[in-house]
Amino acid sequence: MPILTRRNLLKASAVVGTYGIGVGIAGKFGMAEAAPEPQLLKAVKTQATLTDAGVTKNIMTWGDAGGDAGMPPVLRMTKGKPYAARLTNALDEPTTIHWHGLRIPNKMDGVPFMTQPYVYTGDSFDYAFSPPDAGTFWYHPHCNTLTQMGQGMTGVIVVDDPADPTFDSEVVLNLRDWRLGGDGQFIAAFRPRDAAKTGTYGTVRTANWHQEPQYDAPAGGLIRLRIAVTDVTRVFSLKMEGAEATVIAIDGNPVPKRFPLDLLLIGPGQRLDLAVRMPDSEGAVATLEDIRGTTPKTIARLRSVGASLKRNVGDLAALAENPVPKADLSSAEKISVTLSATAESAPVDSICGTLGYSFWAINKVTWAGDTADPTAPLAELKLGKSYILQLENLTPHVHPIHLHGMSFTVLSSSAGEVMPFVSDTYLIQSGESVELAFVADNLGDWLLHCHIIEHQKTGMTSYVRVV
Ligand code: C2O
Ligand code: CU
């Protein structure tokens, strides 16, 4: 699917000059804060064992300098502290890294054309920023994404807050599917008729690149279970069998009020932090399940080990709020964002990958593809001003709508009462209208798109400009 024609390459290289070079790590921080050693993230093609059918070829991931390349590493950062990563591209196509949910400067956002040049084969790009919020986030390329993400490039980020309450253990789950045939090899990434509906589902489900993995945890202990849905298509309805599970954060941000996990819908791009109280008896197993669809599916298991710690979820101190600015609702300007289907406009060739179809639109405009000359922004926002996105879904499908660079607070929904949670990705139901308030406090062009990648790549993408 990557379309690497000479003509495209020439076109693309012509625009590279407008960005200048990647931000140097040394110049990025003040004198006081020493620049950290960059974490090496080498984009590579490799193979992995995902099924009993044997080794799957053409896996894409990030390895480290030592050449180890399995599941993308869980990146650990600390709230408010400088972090640096050096992306080196050993793939045979361009790539970038987007840090999903991190409110960082535009130049670090990883969107080709919009915020940085492509990182071509053999080239490097230095990312450096200080994540302002603690929580569970994730990272992925923003180029030829159905292929690069579909074939493995989705990793989890944990931003620690040293002031967080202490858990007895932590389990991080990277949930995703793979589109593999019976021989364990990749099959066509999508079917057009499915892209025009829910998106094309994978055939093999995994958590941390394993089918139904089991993790040991202290009996009677409190586990912080960090879940990231990094799949390109699948929406989950999550439930925990055999243990008490309490939702403590959604999309990285602590929830205003904790509540028990019960069939919570969570879509591509979203994260969930749970406090799981393990069963008291040694050997007892708790099961995380997806009950969306006809038969419940096991995602992962947690097994109690040792003598019970007899912990109580009520003893867990609250997570500190993230410093996301609160919108001023009295002065906030409203922006309509309507999601619909379309039959119009042909997609433009792009070395960041086109699926060759247009099925979706935002405010009746279909994203033509990632080009140097995109359509006009959805809205031009003034730095520091408050806005309310009035998002409306006229389609018969759910869409996880993601805003880059800024986090919003959910104000109200036509679907019923909503908790005012803070997020970067809202899973909007068919027929739903929702109000999302935020402060435009981050300069630059910020994408707004559906995180079902086939929807994103067949029109359901736009952007806002903060000036
Ligand atoms: Cu997860 Cu455009 O992003
Ligand atoms: Cu969608």
Lowest mean per-residue pLDDT among 36-45, 56-65, 216-225: 56-65
Three-point CA angle 322, 299, 226, nearest 5°: 15
Distance CA(441)–CA(460), nearest Å, equals 24
Protein residue with its CA nearest to atom 1 in ligand 1: 100
Distance CA(83)–CA(80), nearest Å, equals 9
CA of 428 to the centre of ligand 2 (A): 9
Distance CA(22)–CA(16), nearest Å, equals 11
Decide if pLDDT at 83 tops 50: yes
Q: Which residue has the higher pLDDT, 346 or 235?
A: 235
For the segment 219-228, the average pLDDT, to the nearest whole number, is 98
Residue 374, pLDDT score = 75
Task: Provide the residue type at 1 as one letter.
Answer: M
For the segment 50-64, the average pLDDT, to the nearest whole number, is 94
- 106-118 core/surface letters (b: 16 or more CB in 10 A; e: else): bbbbbbbbbbbbb
Ligand 1 pocket member 100 (CB < 6 A): yes
Residue 330, pLDDT score = 97
Domain residue extents for the chain: 39-160, 164-315, 324-466
Instruction: Please identify every residue whose CB atom is under 5 Å from ligand 2, which is an ion.
Output: 399, 450, 452, 455
Closest-lying ligand 1 atom to the alpha carbon of residue 449: 2
Distance CA(276)–CA(300), nearest Å, equals 13
Where residue 344 falls among pLDDT bands split at 50, 70, 90? low
CA of 368 to the centre of ligand 2 (A): 16
Protein residue with its CA nearest to atom 3 in ligand 1: 100
Residue 158, pLDDT score = 98
Where residue 201 falls among pLDDT bands split at 50, 70, 90? very high
For the segment 98-109, the average pLDDT, to the nearest whole number, is 98
Ligand 1 pocket member 455 (CB < 6 A): no
Closest-lying ligand 1 atom to the alpha carbon of residue 269: 1
Q: Return the closest-CA partner of residue 229 out of 282, 313, 277, 288.
A: 288
Where residue 66 falls among pLDDT bands split at 50, 70, 90? low
For the segment 96-117, the average pLDDT, to the nearest whole number, is 97
Q: Which residue has the higher pLDDT, 10 or 440?
A: 440
Distance CA(135)–CA(157), nearest Å, equals 8
Phi, psi dihedrals of residue 295, rounded to the nearest 5°: -115, 140
CATH topology of domain 164-315: Immunoglobulin-like (2.60.40)
CA of 124 to the centre of ligand 1 (A): 21
pLDDT one-digit tens code per residue, 256-290: 999 999 999 999 999 999 999 999 999 999 999 99
Distance CA(239)–CA(237), nearest Å, equals 7
Ligand 1 pocket member 447 (CB < 6 A): yes
CATH topology of domain 324-466: Immunoglobulin-like (2.60.40)
CA of 168 to the centre of ligand 1 (A): 32
Ligand 1 pocket member 404 (CB < 6 A): yes
Residue 69, pLDDT score = 80
Closest-lying ligand 1 atom to the alpha carbon of residue 425: 1
**Residue whose entry in the numeric block shows the structure tokens 């990557």:** 2
Q: Which residue has the higher pLDDT, 229 or 342?
A: 229
**Cross-strand partners of 186:** 180
Ligand that comes closest to the CA of residue 268:
1
Question: What is the pLDDT of the chain when averaged over all its residues?
Answer: 91
Ligand 1 pocket member 91 (CB < 6 A): no
Distance CA(43)–CA(88), nearest Å, equals 6
Residue 65, pLDDT score = 65
Pairing of strands 379-381, 461-466: parallel
Class (C level, CATH) for 39-160: mainly beta
Ligand 1 pocket member 277 (CB < 6 A): no
Residue 21, pLDDT score = 35
CA of 38 to the centre of ligand 1 (A): 22
Residue 364, pLDDT score = 87
Closest-lying ligand 1 atom to the alpha carbon of residue 404: 2
Distance CA(399)–CA(14), nearest Å, equals 35
CA of 115 to the centre of ligand 2 (A): 23
Lowest mean per-residue pLDDT among 25-29, 205-209, 264-268, 368-372: 25-29
For the segment 233-247, the average pLDDT, to the nearest whole number, is 98
CA of 103 to the centre of ligand 1 (A): 12
Where residue 33 falls among pLDDT bands split at 50, 70, 90? low
pLDDT one-digit tens code per residue, 413-460: 999 999 999 999 999 999 999 999 999 999 999 999 999 999 999 999
Where residue 3 falls among pLDDT bands split at 50, 70, 90? very low
Residue 12, pLDDT score = 37
Closest-lying ligand 1 atom to the alpha carbon of residue 100: 1
For the segment 310-332, the average pLDDT, to the nearest whole number, is 96
Closest-lying ligand 1 atom to the alpha carbon of residue 142: 2
CA of 328 to the centre of ligand 2 (A): 29
Ligand that comes closest to the CA of residue 271:
1
pLDDT one-digit tens code per residue, 365-391: 888 777 777 788 999 999 999 999 999
For the segment 198-210, the average pLDDT, to the nearest whole number, is 97
Domain 164-315 and domain 324-466, same fold? Reply is: yes
Closest-lying ligand 1 atom to the alpha carbon of residue 138: 1
Cα(first)–Cα(last) distance of the chain, in Å?
35
Where residue 157 falls among pLDDT bands split at 50, 70, 90? very high
CA of 140 to the centre of ligand 1 (A): 7
CA of 281 to the centre of ligand 1 (A): 42
- The share of the chain scoring above pLDDT 90, in percent, equals 83
Q: Which residue has the higher pLDDT, 172 or 345?
A: 172
Phi, psi dihedrals of residue 332, rounded to the nearest 5°: -65, 140
Ligand 1 pocket member 457 (CB < 6 A): no
